[in-house]
Structure 1
Amino acid sequence: MCRKMPVKPASGIPLGIPLEMLMAMTRYPKQGKGSRWTELGLKAIPPSWKGDYVADGEGLTGEVRVASDGRVSISFKYGYKWRGAGVKHYCGTWPDVTLAGVRAERDRARALVKTGVSPGDAKRAAKIEAQATVEATIAEAARQQAEDLPLRSMFEAWLRDGVKRADNNAELQRSFEKDVLPLIGDKPVRRVDEGDIRAVLRAVIGRGTYRMASRVYADMVQLFAWAEARKPWRALMVEGNPTKLVELTKLLPHGCDPDAERDRVLSADELRELRAKLAAMEAAYAAAPAGAKYDVDRPVKKETQLALWICLGTLCRIGELLKARWEHVNLTAGEWFVPAENTKTGVNWKVYLSPFARRQFTALHELTGDTAFCFPARAARGNAPTDHVCVKSVSKQIGDRQMQFKNRAGPLKNRKHDNSLTLSGGRAGAWTPHDLRRTGATMMQQLGVSLDLIDRCQNHVMAGSRVRRAYLHHDYAAEKREAWAKLGERIEVLLAD
């Protein structure tokens, strides 16, 4: 098959090996020295040649290796002189690399040597260039990714670092998730323009929710103003801040002022009408036969009805009421304590319950007194409620029953869709639970209660210098108790007519 012949050290024979060992280790094709190996010849090499070298001529020598399973492979190297020293250049391992491939690598290295270039240096330079290419590709991808950051990412960064509202940004996030992000949330910031801002606002205005459009617009203005001053967002707004090019008033119906203060006050007749409508719903449902309950509209939840009358009788905000816990309600003393974290003003507030308001809380206690919350959230089956209802739940229930003032294509899932709570034929417009707070305050004013005391009963931030607020600490408990009692008496008389 081949001949094992003694040789003199020559280019291609591994350097640093004693001549005697080389003579015993170097093997040639069976045609003898000077002939070249073939693929078939290499395949015929037995495992017993492990550690021997095969010479292929022109400086190319391979070391025979044997794997644990007996498979033979040959690691080929090209030997050459470089600056007076012997150097070996790896050309590949057969059979992973064909014999033709090994020789091609040897020829490439030999050509480099002839031009005065070290194959080793050329190989290292190629690796450096390849790594540089990879790094450049990664950097370019990162640059493109940074340039294509979507509006959603900017909004999330703003929520995390740029805005902190009393509700922990819950309402802000809800409004963006509903009205902004579905339309332009995935669009790169650099491509968001004034047309996109207008599209968002027109969608909100199209529902007839003008105040919401004003709030969404204000929030987007705040978001872009924050981003405009910070990296990486300011670099992405290549065309400037798009909200600066949008005027909300030009998108709203003529004469519409979404920021105008609501001034809806329910009249005495409307309060009586509300009482009558709530009672009629209860009566109709109670009178329906057991098998026909689904044919009759369900009445407004009893808890919701009581919440409305409590708002009227205490001047509280609906959100403050729906967060109330029974541990803060003393029915015996007729007091309701509202902790600072539940109030809009961030200060503790005590309500002195009139007999009218106390009766509403007593009726509510019969319904939910076995829970921690006055208005507990719906619990999973078999579990006690661990939180209060959504602070918007009562407003939604009332709004869903005044559909003539809304621009909805149809009923929302699991929501009412009628005009059963429209008052005075709709001539005075829609009403909200918050309007009852205003109505109660107006009734107090009609009873001769001072404006300053009404403000205290509503837990408003009191006017005056900081010095006055720091030094004057009379709590007006007696005066407020009397004012609430007068209001309760007035409501009792009004509803008794």
Structure 2
Amino acid sequence: MAVKNRELLPRSADSADKLIRKLTPGQKDTYIQDSTVTGLVLRVTPSGKKIWHLRYTVQVGSGQWIGRKHSLGAFCDGLRTRSARELAEEWRVRIRQGEDPQEEKKKLAEMRKAEHLREIAERQALRTLNDVAAVYATKLANKTSGHDDGGIHAMTILQNHLLGRFGSIPIKEFTRQHFFAAVDPVLAAGHNSMANSVLLYTKAMFRLAVKREFIEYSVLDCVEKADVGGKDKIRTRVLCATRTKEDELEELYKLLPESGLSRNLQCSVHILLGTMCRGIELFKGRWDHLNFDNSTWLIPDENSKNGDPIIIHLSDYSKKWFAELHKLTGHTGWMMPSVKSKDRPYMLPKVLSKAVCERQRDPDAPPKKGRTKNHSTLILPDGHWTVHDLRRTGATQMQMLNVTPDIIDACQNHRPLGSVRRRYQHGESMDQMRNAWDLLGRSLAAKADAHNQTV
């Protein structure tokens, strides 16, 4: 509780100043009234600060009077007694005329806040697409929540097709016309999927800009794939035989040894076929997750695309190629260790994807500088194929072997359709899954043996 000092400040301003300088703080706030100006008091805090206050009353509501206190300033900041009295008298006159210091203080604070917000808005208006892209790149590079490649792929697309042309434009001035001016040349070249990728990453960058309050809304919210490159086509390319196409796996087995692919990448092709895992799940795999004795390979949740762990049964076919790979990289902790990156211990699957793609160019095409000379060593009869087609090929081969779709989905670690099944059914059909992997492995091994017998 504050202590009220019975002593009044002297009428002489100079004497009052001398007295105030000698005042020592107590354990609680001490108030000393002025002897000249009604309502003027000096507050001495326990920390030694000496502050002038003006006490006054104002009428609120229907005739109700309430007491208020208004701080005028601190003695130690240069507000001496004479100046404090003059300031207090000025406020007393203004109070009698209907003004309220507290309301004035609120209005001043609101004005300052409005001015601050206006300055922020002006600064935000000056932010360019390049500024926002820098923030977006930092988000993608986050090792925990960002992209596996640190956002390099996404930022390269944005730089090549958007930022290089419109990066200096303030984001608030960017319109849909600017965006279509960026993607129209991509569409004209027939690269519809790339145009959709530009849309995907640009919309993500603008959503981030909205969340960071760089802009109030995204001008691209109403733009969909159908407005740009069209809906992505469902890829159906497989390498195994179906009822409508011939088998290409034997041809692949024939080409792989002479393709120029490193031995560990050749092993990865066989493993991707035999396990139907995703490329990133293999390339991020550790040897301590694989048990040769039990013929099992654990893909932990942090390596799985959907965050669900899975234990893959290794058929004799898959186990053979894992053993071959272990001879090459078993001395490291990683199945596919990186030899170039200092920040990432494992190789990115795009290394294999790029190597496979580069080996499917026209045989008459001139070799590209700095690229492989084996630029046509993996061409298959039915045309271009990708690494992800291996996963589709394994699933189709299982289907041709009469494995049921739900077991194929389970082997590929696809979540079951329907929220009820996902909520209540958490078991695994391990026996059926093990049999499915063994069927696939025996089928792949038979094709490999058929090729070896013809060589």
> TM-score, normalised on structure 1?
0.58
Higher alpha-carbon deviation: 311-320 or 147-156? 147-156
Gap change, CA 1:206 and 1:363, over 3 Å in 2: farther
Instruction: Pick from 225, 239, 247 the counterpart of residue 266 of structure 1.
Output: 239
Shift of 1:462: 1.1
Q: 1:266 to 1:471 in 2, by over 3 A?
A: same
Q: Is the 8 A contact 1:326 1:369 kept in 2?
A: yes
Letter in 1 for 2:398: M
What do the CA deviations read for 1:56-97 (whole angstroms, capped 9, x no partner)?
Answer: xxxxxxxxxxxxxxxxxxxxxxxxxxxxxxxxxxxxxxxxxx
| Residue from 331, 345, 348 that aligns with 1:387 | 345
Q: Distance in 1 between matches of 2:221 and 2:293?
A: 57
Alignment of 1:154-169 (within 5 A): 154-158=132-136, 168-169=146-147
Aligned-pair identity (%):
30
**2:209 maps to amino acid:** A
Aligned residue for 1:369?
Answer: 330
Aligned residue for 2:379, secondary structure, equals: coil
Structure 2 residue corresponding to 1:303, chosen from 264, 286, 294: 264
Matching of residues 233-312 of structure 1 within 5 Å: 233-234=215-216, 241-243=218-220, 252=229, 257=230, 259-268=232-241, 269-281=247-259, 299-312=260-273
**CA displacement at 1:338 relative to structure 2:** 0.4
d(CA) in 2 for partners of 1:414, 1:452? 42
Aligned AA (1:418) = H
Deviates more, 1:437-446 or 1:258-267: 258-267
1:221 aligned residue (200, 203, 214): 203
Q: Which has the larger radius of gyration?
A: 1
Look up the SS of the partner of 2:302 in the other structure. Answer: helix
Return the match for 2:379 from 400, 406, 422.
422
Partner letter of residue 444 of structure 1?
M
1:114-133 mapped onto 2 (5 Å cutoff): none
- How far is 1:271 from its partner? 1.0
1:148 equivalent in alignment to 2:96 = no
Report the Cα offset of residue 348 of structure 1: 0.9
Q: Give the structure 1 partner of residue 179 of structure 2.
A: 197
Conservation of the 8 A alpha-carbon contact between 2:274 and 2:317:
yes
8 Å CA contact retained: 2:124, 2:215:
no
Structure 2 gaps, min length 5: 1-115, 242-246, 451-455
Is structure 2 residue 309 aligned with structure 1 residue 355? no
Deviation, structure 1 residue 463: 1.7
SS of residue paired to 1:233: coil
Whole-angstrom CA distance in 1 between matches of 2:275 and 2:350: 19
Distance change >3 Å, CA 460–CA 366, structure 1 → 2: same
Distance 1:369 1:439 in 2: 28
1:134 equivalent in structure 2: none
Alignment check: 8 A CA contact 1:265 1:438 kept: yes
**Does the 8 Å CA contact 2:137/2:155 hold for their aligned counterparts?**
no
How many residue pairs end up in the alignment?
Answer: 325
In the alignment, structure 1 residue 458 sits paired with structure 2 residue 431: no
Kindly state the Cα deviation for residue 489 of structure 1 after the two structures are TM-superposed.
0.5
Structure 1 residue identity aligned to 2:426: H
Take 1:175 and 1:203, find their aligned partners in 2: how far apart are those partners? 20
The Cα shift of 1:180 comes to 1.8
Deviation at 1:275, TM superposition (A): 1.1
Question: Can you list the C-alpha shifts for 1:99-151, whole angstroms capped at 9, x where unaligned?
Answer: xxxxxxxxxxxxxxxxxxxxxxxxxxxxxxxxxxxxxxx99998765432111
> Which of 154, 157, 160 is the aligned partner of 1:179?
157
- Per-residue displacement from partner, 1:182-202 (whole Å, max 9, x unpaired)? 413333213433343224324
- Compute the displacement of 1:472 (Å): 3.1
Distance 1:332 1:147, change over 3 A: same
Cα distance change of structure 1 residues 474 and 180 upon mapping to structure 2, 3 Å threshold: closer
What's the counterpart of residue 323 of structure 1? Answer: 284
Cα 1:448–1:248 shift into 2, 3 Å: closer
Contact 1:411 1:417 in 2 (8 A): no
Distance 2:180 2:267 in 1: 41
User: SS of the residue aligned with 2:151?
Assistant: helix
Whether contact under 8 Å (2:140, 2:150) holds in the other structure is no
State the shift of 1:401 in Å.
Answer: 1.2
Counterpart residue identity of residue 465, structure 1: S
Equivalent AA in structure 2 for residue 153 of structure 1? D
Q: 1:228-270, CA deviations, whole angstroms, 9 ceiling, x for partnerless residues?
A: 5763323xxxxx8543686765665xxxx55111111113431
What SS does the corresponding residue of 1:321 show, helix, strand or coil? helix
CA distance in 2, matches of 1:446, 1:414: 38
Residue 224 of structure 1 aligns with an amino acid whose one-letter code is: F
Matches of 2:323 and 2:434, distance apart in 1: 18
1:402 is aligned to 2:360: yes
SS of the counterpart of 2:277?
Answer: coil
Paired letter, 1:178: T
Which whole-Å CA distance do the structure 2 matches of 1:457 and 1:350 have between them? 9
Q: Helix, strand or coil: the match of 1:154?
A: helix
In 2, the alpha carbon distance for the partners of 1:410 and 1:186 equals 37
Q: Distance in 2 between matches of 1:191 and 1:411?
A: 41
Gaps of at least 5 residues in structure 1 are 1-137, 235-239, 282-298
Aligned to 1:3: none
Cα RMSD (Å):
3.6
Aligned with 1:477 (options 430, 441, 450) = 430
User: Could you say what secondary structure the match of 1:441 adopts?
Assistant: helix
